[in-house]
Structure 1
Amino acid sequence: MTQHKKVVLLVINCLQGGGGERFVLTLGQGFYELDYEVHILRFKPLVEYDLSPNLNYHVLKFKPYKLIPGSERRDKLFVKAVDRYVLNKIGQPDIILSNLYRADSILCHSKLKNIAYVIHSTLSLYHKFNKADNVDRLKLKLTNMYSNHPCICVSDGVKMDFTHHLGDITPITAIHNPIDKKGIQKLADAFVPEYQNYIIHVGSFKEAKRHDILLRAYAKTDQSMPLLLLGKGKLKNDIEQLVIELSLEDKVVFLGFQENPFPFIKHAQFKVLTSDREGFALVIAEALALDVPVISTDCQSGPKELLPAHCLMPTNDINAISEKISQAMSDSQHFYAPFDEAILPVKIAGKYAEFIDRTK
């Protein structure tokens, strides 16, 4: 008698060019290598990544439900369609992983079994607890959402923040993000960039990434290496304007979103990250997979779990960041750090499977 493969379903709003989206595709590959049948369900058709033929892809559009008044009512009606779709098209999966807040806010109403949430961000920073008008109400909402299924945090820092603010509300663990080292190295050899002897920053133009601090710190160096900014986002126009204000037009290059960023990373002298917050800091681990030195702000979670202390710098400190960039420009290899083989996709998928089995 043929034994049926175990089935895993990863749910996310869309597959646009972000770290959470890349995580889903990479973890899916890890489960495929564990001999799972892998399905990915999204609520928007948007895709900005190459999709592996090893995985099965589904779209169930949320857009028609936008006409329904009341966000919670919309989500409750939509999740019934999600549950029906999954049971009819896939069957009851052995593991369902909800990724990012939009999917979490929908799947918290689901009647399907074997759901777990992947917590990608430091909740207190993502939801700005320190600026929220009614933080107790917000915490209650998050507690109600996350207490009904196990949670997997992408770093120890994210887990500590979760339990500190929401308490011991559900089975929880920390598992680092998967990094497809061989795949990244192969993609990195696709071409050689036209630029040479440069610094690279990879990240969406959004508030948390603090491109403004990066540029102000870079402006205080001797700018002996050009700074390449890879990404897109709603704050890009503001950052372009800041480049002009700081007279850095000849030094800063906007690369836009790149489906394959890895050749740009591989050939950089070093990678810099100046974020206020990160969950895991996927871009750091990817740079380490390519033996590229990294300097990063010491966010509440993420970078300190991947980098030695001398590669870290204080958040929101333009002078300290400027000094570290100058040091890296004069001796980038001082900021080299080894890649941890424990975060290869098949090993991380195995950790997910073990945790879900323990919590069933």
Structure 2
Amino acid sequence: MGKAFIEKKSKILLVINSLKGGGAERVVLTLGQGFHDLGYEVHVLTFKPQVEFSLNPNLNYHMLKFKNFKLIPKLDRRDRVFAYVVDRYISKKIGKPELIISNLDRADSILSYSRLSNITYVIHNTVSLLYGFNIKDNHDKKIKFSKIYSKHPCICVSQGAEKDFIKSFGQITPTTAIYNPIDKDSIQEQAKAFIPEYQNYIIHVGSFKDAKRHDVLVKAYAKTDQSMPLLLLGQGKYKDDIEQLVKNLNIEDKVIFLGFQENPFPYIKHAQFKVLTSDWEGFALVIAEALVLNTPVISTDCPSGPSELLPQKNLMPMGDVDAIADTLSQAMENPEQFQAPFDEALLPAKIAEKYLHFVQSIKQK
């Protein structure tokens, strides 16, 4: 005789607007695997059909279209109505998750109206810089996000991101800093997929957007001897502008635009070193991923992320074209001096455990 009943697994639900190609989206899938490794039944709920990643077969996927609700006037009313639909869907189709983890502002806003329990937000970035809270006309935006984030506990993806969150909003909710999970085995396996056609190159991986400062990178690179080509992986609104800047600097034969790559890891593995010139990051996922592949990294010392992952000698002042050019030149001459170790505490199951400990500690208070 078999068991009279099958023991049901506890459920974890991760919520994000879509699974398009971004860092937070990749974190959701990796964190999901971490909870799966701990024995949970893991669900992922999105509000848009966009998917730019190979989906992890260990997770369960749901899509509830927000688009149909866009006819409702006023965003807060729209989100309130949609939150009711989301709650009903979760209760009927998923059940009662032990933990609901909300990612990025679209999901955060909707779940601020949810009546379900055990919701936690993940703060993926340095909020004051991402939303421009220091800009005079953005005070209303700050008040809006303060209302959203006061509703549930917040997990910030780095100590810098947590400090910035508290500085921006005050002690409006329980917070902690838990780094993003890094699936070492998967990254190392994906890095074997192919050998890039390029050799002895520098790599930058990131969307062409304000934070990444491709303009600073390209200007600094132009001041070096360009003895190694610079590969730029990513898409984004400033790509055309950066292509024009590269032409203006007469370095078209040295800078290679490779667009978005679902699997960037072979490019990272075979690079001489990786560079990051951001003005802000949350955690700087791409740094940790490069360390997994033993690729040296140099990065700007932006307010959160890089300084928590790299030694001081690997860090450069933000926006300083000359200083960045100097470090680029040093790295081209001897990349090995910028090697750094990968921290095994970032493995997915270990990070998932930290999430559970944080939520448990709040309940005990």
Provide the residue aligned with 2:40 in structure 1: 36
Q: Which residue of 1 aligns with 2:250?
A: 247
Q: What pairs with 1:318-333 in structure 2 (closer than 5 Å)?
A: 318-333=321-336
Give CA deviations for 1:147-205 in whole Å, capped at 9, x if unaligned. 11110000000000111121111111000000001100000001000000000000001
Matched letter for residue 234 of structure 1: K
Counterpart in 2 of 1:57? 61
SS in structure 2 opposite 1:133? Answer: helix
AA aligned opposite 2:149: Y
Flag as ranges the 4+ runs of structure 1 deviating above 6 A. Answer: none
Selected match of 2:81 from 77, 82, 97:
77
- For 1:146 and 1:3, locate their aligned partners in 2 and report how far apart those are by CA, in whole Å: 35
Distance 1:259 1:132 in 2: 38
The alignment status of 1:174 with 2:205, answered yes or no, reads no
Asked if the contact 2:132/2:138 (under 8 Å) is kept, the reply is: no
Aligned counterparts of 1:9 and 1:225: Cα–Cα separation in 2: 44
Question: How far 1:232 sits from its partner (Å)?
Answer: 0.7
Deviation, 1:2, is: 4.1
Unaligned runs of 5+ in 2: none
The match for 1:286 among 286, 289, 303 is 289
Cα distance in 2 for residues equivalent to 1:309 and 1:6: 42
Matched, 1:129 2:152: no
Cα RMSD over matched residues?
0.9
Query: Is residue 94 from structure 1 mapped to residue 98 from structure 2 by the alignment?
Result: yes
Q: Which residue of 1 aligns with 2:359?
A: 356
Deviating more after overlay: 97-106 vs 126-135: 126-135
Counterpart mapping for 1:11-26 below 5 A: 11-26=15-30
Q: Deviations over 1:203-254 (max 9, x none)?
A: 0011110001000000000000000000111111111111111111100001
Aligned residues of 2:84 and 2:114 also touching (Cα < 8 A):
yes
SS in 2 for 1:221: coil
For the pair 1:343 / 2:313, whether they are aligned, the reply is no
TM superposition shift of 1:291: 0.4
CA distance in 1, matches of 2:213, 2:70: 32
Q: Partner amino acid for 1:83?
A: D
The match for 1:45 is 49
Classify 1:312/1:104 alpha carbon distance in 2 versus 1 (closer, same or farther; 3 Å): same
Does structure 1 residue 7 correspond to structure 2 residue 11?
yes
Q: Which residue of 2 aligns with 1:206?
A: 209
Residue range with higher mean Cα deviation, 91-100 or 140-149: 140-149
> What secondary structure sits across from 2:14 in the alignment?
strand
Tell me the amino acid that sits aligned with residue 173 of structure 1. Answer: T
CA drift at 1:140: 2.3
Cα distance between partner residues in 2 of 1:291 and 1:330: 18
CA distance, structure 2, for counterparts of residue 84 and residue 78 of structure 1: 10
How many Å separate the matches in 1 of 2:65 and 2:238?
27
Query: Does 2:333 align with 1:300?
Result: no
Structure 1: which 5+ runs fail to align? Answer: none
- Measured in 2, the distance between the counterparts of 1:60 and 1:243 equals 42
Using structure 2 for the length normalisation, give the TM-score.
0.97
Q: Quick one: which amino acid aligns to residue 158 of structure 1?
A: A
SS of the residue corresponding to residue 70 of structure 2 reads helix
Looking at structure 1, the residues matched to 136 and 198 of structure 2 have their Cα atoms a distance apart, in angstroms, of 43
Structure 2 counterpart of 1:226, which letter?
P
- The letter of the residue matching 2:180 is N
Q: Percent identity?
A: 66
Write the distance in 2 (CA, Å) between the matches of 1:234 and 1:132.
24
Q: Secondary structure at 1:74's aligned position in 2?
A: helix
Q: 1:356, CA displacement in angstroms?
A: 1.2
Q: Paired residue for 1:265, among 268, 288, 291?
A: 268
| 2:17 counterpart letter in structure 1 | N
Please give the residue correspondences for 1:99-248 in structure 2 after superposition, counting only pairs within 5 Å. Answer: 99-135=103-139, 137-248=140-251
Query: Which residue identity is paired with 2:141?
Result: L
Query: Which one-letter code corresponds to 1:228 in the other structure?
Result: L
Amino acid at match of 1:157: G
The TM-score with structure 1 as length reference comes to 0.98
Q: Secondary structure at the match of 1:249?
A: coil
Kindly state the Cα deviation for residue 275 of structure 1 after the two structures are TM-superposed: 0.5
Distance in 2 of aligned mates of 1:235 and 1:290 = 29
Task: Find the counterpart in structure 2 of residue 309 from structure 1.
Answer: 312
